[in-house]
Chains A and B, each alone.
Chain A
C-alpha cells in the first residue's frame, strides 16, 4: 500500500504547470473567448511537445496524466484535452479529437479538431469534421465552442473504442480538471480575502468568511484522493465517485468564490468568471453528480 505519486509523475506535473503559467495565462483564456476557435493559438503544439498529448502521450497511463489534467483545470486551458484523453486506448489519442456520446452529445471544438468520435447505438465511429454538419450552440463559457453534429454512419469509420470506457476516461479527465479548478478558485479567493479590507480589517478575518473557505478546503481535500484512486483503477464505480466528488467540490468552490469576492467577482472584467463558468460546464459534462451517484447506487444497492 502506497497512496502517493512517483517523483517522475510529480515532476511532469510541475513542468506542465510552468508551461501553462507562461503559455496559458488568464489573458490567453480571455482572448480565446473572442477568437475564431475558442482555443489558444499554438498551445496544442506546445502540449504535444511536452508529451501531454500526441504520440509521446500514447504510452502514458491515466495515473501519469491525472495530475497534469488537474493543472490544465487550474489554468482553465481551453483545449480538447479531456476528449482527446478519453479517446486514447492506453494513453492519449494521437490527434486532437472532438467527442460526442449519447450522455453528452454536444461536441467541443468540433470545427477545429482533426477528427470527431461519435456514439451511435453504443458503438463509436470516427470521421473528419468536414464529413459532418455542425450547428454551433453558444455556451455560457465563451471558450467552449460546442456543436450539435449531424452525421451518417456510412461516411464514418467504426472504431475499436468501447463507449463505456471512453465515457469513464472522459469523466475522469473532467474530474481531474474540476479538482484543479476548485483548488485555483480556493487559492484565488483566499488571496482576495487576505487583501480586501472592509470595516478596517481583511474580510478573511471574519469567521463567516473563514468557515465558507474551510468548507471548500474540506471538499477539495476529500475529492482529490477519490480522483487519484479512480485514475489508478479506472473502475466504473470509482470513476463515478471521482466525478461526483470533483463536481461537488468545484461547484461549492465557485459558489463560495463568487460570494467572497462579492460584486467584483460578478463582473466579466475580473478573471474569476472564467473559472466559474468552466466549473459549471465540466460539472454538467460526462454525467453530472446525480447521474454518477445513480451509477454507484446500481453497483452497491440490492433492493429486496
Chain B
C-alpha cells in the first residue's frame, strides 16, 4: 500500500491547478438554459484548446493520456478551483467510454474529436414515457431501410438532459420487434438536425429548461451510426450504465469541494446542533475518496468495473443530498432563497433518480453482489 502521489502525479496536479486557477470561468449562468449553454460551450472550448477537456483520452482524440489516478487529481483540482458543471458530460463520460469499447475506428475518428471540442454535444436517449426504471420496456423502433443502407427510427424519448441544446443523441431503439425485452435492441447515434426529429424542452424541478422530449418520425440513420452491432444494444448500453453509476460521472472531487464549502458555511454559522451532521458530511466525502482510490487501484490492475458500481452510485447520490440538506438547515430561514445551496439541493435530488433509481441499484446490489434470488 502506498497512499502517496508520485512525483509525476504531483507535477500533473500542479500543472492542472495552475491552469485552472488562472482560467476557470466563475459565475457562469446554469448550463441547462439556452443562454448559459452557449457560454458553457465557450468554456468547454477553452478547456479543450488547453488540453484539459478529456485528460484521460488518447492524444489523437484531444486527450493527454492521463492515468485514472491523474484523472482523479484533475477532477479534484477542477472542483477545488470552482470549475463549472460539464455540459459535455454525457458525451465524454457516458458515450465516449462506450465508443472506446465498441466503436469502429471510423466512428471514433469522426465523433470523438468533435465531442471533446464541444463542437458536437451529446445527450442520452434512453428513457421513454413508458420506460424509465424498466428500460428494457422501450417502444421506439428502428425499421430496416435496405435501399438506404440504414435504419428508420420512430418513437419518443423523454427526460433527456440538455436535449433542447445538444446536437446529437445516443439511444436505444427496438430493431427486432419479435424479440423480447433486452433482446432485439440496437444502440444508435443520431444527429438531432436530421429530418423527422422534433425536440421540445421543458423545465426541470429547479425551473431550468434542462429536460427535453425528443420525437422521432421516420428518421433515417445510416449503418455507420449503429454502435456495437445490430440487436446488441442492451449489452452496449449496460457498458455505459456502469460508467454512469460509478466512477466517471461523479468523481470524489465534486463532493469534497461541496463538503469543504459546507464546513466553511458552518464556520460562519457554528450551530452546535448541526455540528455532527457537518462533520459526518465531510467524513463521507473523504470516505468516498478512499473507496474510489481503492476501486481505481483495482481498475489500474486490469480488473473491470462490475455491479459494485451500484454501491458507488448509492453512496454519492445520497451523500450529495445529505450535504445539501445540512447546508439548508444551517441557512435556516434563508434556505428558501434562490442561491447555490438551494440550487444544488434541487440538483442533488435528481441523483437518486437518474442513472438507475436507487431502488434499482439496491436490487442490483442484493441480486448481483450478494446473490439473493431475483424472484
Q: Which residues from chain A sit less than 8 Å from chain B, CB to CB?
A: 1-6, 63, 186, 190, 193-194, 201-202, 204-205, 207, 209-211, 213-215, 217-218, 221-223, 225-226, 228-229, 232-233, 241, 244-245, 290, 293-294, 296-297, 300-304
Contacts and interface: CB of A to CB of B under 8 A. Distances in A.
Given A2-B297, A213-B372, A301 B308 contact: no
Interface of B: 1-6, 9, 69, 263, 266-268, 270, 275-276, 278-280, 282-283, 286-288, 290-291, 293-294, 296-298, 301, 308, 311, 314-315, 359, 361-363, 365-367, 369-375
Instruction: List the 4 closest A-B pairs by CB distance, nearest first.
Output: A303-B270, A210-B366, A214-B362, A214-B365
B279 A300 contact: yes
Nearest to A221: B311
Contacts of A302: 267
Given A241-B283, A244-B283, A218 B363 contact: no
**From DSSP, what is the main secondary structure of chain A's interface residues?**
helix
Contacts, number: 143
Nearest to A190: B370
Contact of A301 (B4, B270, B287, B362): B270
Of B315, B362, B367, most A-chain CB atoms within 10 Å? B362
B270 A293 contact: no
Contact of B270 (A4, A214, A304): A304
Contacts of A202: 372-373
B297 A300 contact: no
A201 B69 contact: no
A291 B268 CA distance: 23
14 contacts: A1-B5, A1-B297, A63-B1, A190-B370, A194-B372, A202-B373, A211-B362, A211-B366, A214-B363, A221-B311, A226-B290, A232-B3, A294-B279, A304-B267
B267 A194 contact: no
A144 B175 CA distance: 65
A294 B272 CA distance: 11
B287 A303 contact: no
A293 B276 contact: yes
A190 to B, nearest CB: 5
A245 B284 CA distance: 9
Interface centre among B6, B286, B288, B308 (most CB of A within 10 A): B286
Contact of B1 (A190, A204, A213, A228): A228
